[in-house]
């Protein structure tokens, strides 16, 4: 984690509400990713960028929880960043699935596609219609469930990092669990947490020493933490009363 990146986080991370992907796009753009590249990313490519973003700013594991479908016990797990990084990038070319003796072809959806269909009544169907390619086209609303599943499976195979499912077993009853991870939401939450912690540090150090925000953010993390600890200790210590006399 570089000190410059903390200032960048303060300058470019949109605080508060808003869709995680939109807020993360702002930060990715500030980190140097071009608009055209961001728009043409597949969801898998976007997720790869988000893992790198998390590594750069937050580091460590992404902790998540899933409720057991059988006994409702909350199970904690770490999103497997290493395994995800090792997955291959999206394949080039079209995804094809057989349908009624013919072949349907689709482009692998990009972030531009995802954004374009965001307001559709049925995002999944709208996405298929938008990404349909090749000579044979069937309106997504007319496809049966088996065809829809086949296309989804083909997309997952073509862009392995797009859909993140972590499989585990319930710690209480042992039932197999499959947690679908919305990586953008987790990374955004961790960045919100980091931003809030940095704000508290800046507030504390600035109040105690009068230093400016950028100077405080430029401190090495360890030294910043030591200053915060010292200020907290001093605040907790009882204030000794002194007898004062007029000059
Ligand atoms: Zn269980």
60-85: per-residue pLDDT in tens? 999 999 999 999 999 999 999 999 99
| Distance of CA 72 from the midpoint of ligand 1 (Å) | 6
What does the block give as tokens for 176?
Answer: 């197999």
Query: Residue 243: what pLDDT?
Result: 78
| Distance of CA 165 from the midpoint of ligand 1 (Å) | 18
Beta strands in 16-73 (DSSP E): 62-67
Tell me if residue 160 falls in helix, strand or coil: coil
How would you class 81 by CB atoms within 10 Å of its CB: exposed for 0-12, middle for 13-18, buried for 19 or more? middle
Tell me if residue 95 falls in helix, strand or coil: strand
| Distance of CA 62 from the midpoint of ligand 1 (Å) | 22
> For residues 44 and 31, what is the distance between their CA atoms, to the nearest angstrom?
19
What's the pLDDT tens digit per position in 87-135? 999 998 899 999 999 999 999 999 999 999 989 999 999 999 999 998 9
| Distance of CA 67 from the midpoint of ligand 1 (Å) | 8
The residue ranges of every structural domain in the chain are 3-66+163-192, 95-158
Residues 6 or more apart from 156 whose CB is under 8 A from it? 162, 163
Evaluate if residue 17 carries a pLDDT over 70.
yes
| Distance of CA 64 from the midpoint of ligand 1 (Å) | 16
Evaluate if residue 4 carries a pLDDT over 60.
no
What does the block give as tokens for 20?
Answer: 């995680």
Evaluate if residue 241 carries a pLDDT over 80.
no
Span 149-178, mean pLDDT?
A: 95
Query: Residue 1: what pLDDT?
Result: 47
What does the block give as tokens for 53?
Answer: 């973003």
| Distance of CA 63 from the midpoint of ligand 1 (Å) | 19
| Distance of CA 9 from the midpoint of ligand 1 (Å) | 39
| Distance of CA 184 from the midpoint of ligand 1 (Å) | 27
Taking Cα atoms as reference points, which of 60, 62, 2 lies closest to residue 31?
Answer: 2
What does the block give as tokens for 76?
Answer: 């904690």
Mean residue pLDDT across the chain: 92
> For residues 82 and 106, what is the distance between their CA atoms, to the nearest angstrom?
29
> For residues 159 and 202, what is the distance between their CA atoms, to the nearest angstrom?
41
What does the block give as tokens for 113?
Answer: 């596609």
> For residues 32 and 202, what is the distance between their CA atoms, to the nearest angstrom?
26
> For residues 181 and 173, what is the distance between their CA atoms, to the nearest angstrom?
22
Span 179-208, mean pLDDT?
A: 94
| Distance of CA 169 from the midpoint of ligand 1 (Å) | 8
What does the block give as tokens for 16?
Answer: 């508060």
């Amino acid at each position: 984690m570089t000190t410059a990146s903390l200032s960048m986080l303060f300058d470019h991370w949109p605080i508060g509400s808003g869709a995680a992907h939109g807020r993360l796009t702002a930060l990715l753009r500030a980190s140097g990713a071009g608009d055209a590249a961001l728009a043409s990313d597949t969801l898998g490519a976007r997720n790869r960028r988000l893992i790198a973003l998390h590594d750069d700013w937050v580091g460590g594991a992404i902790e998540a929880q899933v409720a057991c479908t059988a006994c409702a016990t909350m199970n904690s797990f770490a999103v497997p960043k290493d395994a995800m990084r090792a997955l291959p990038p999206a394949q080039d070319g079209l995804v094809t699935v057989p349908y009624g003796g013919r072949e349907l072809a689709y482009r692998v959806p990009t972030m531009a596609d995802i954004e374009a269909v965001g307001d559709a009544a049925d995002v999944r169907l709208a996405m298929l219609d938008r990404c349909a390619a090749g000579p044979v086209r069937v309106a997504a609303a007319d496809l049966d469930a088996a065809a829809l599943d086949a296309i989804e499976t083909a997309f997952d195979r073509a862009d392995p990092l797009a859909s993140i499912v972590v499989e585990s077993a319930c710690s209480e009853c042992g039932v197999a669990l499959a947690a679908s991870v919305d990586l953008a939401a987790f990374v955004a939450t961790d960045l919100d947490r980091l931003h809030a912690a940095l704000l508290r540090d800046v507030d504390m150090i600035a109040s105690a020493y009068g230093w400016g925000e950028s100077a405080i953010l430029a401190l090495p993390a360890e030294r910043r933490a030591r200053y915060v600890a010292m200020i907290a200790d001093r605040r907790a210590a009882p204030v000794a009363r002194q007898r004062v006399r007029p000059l």
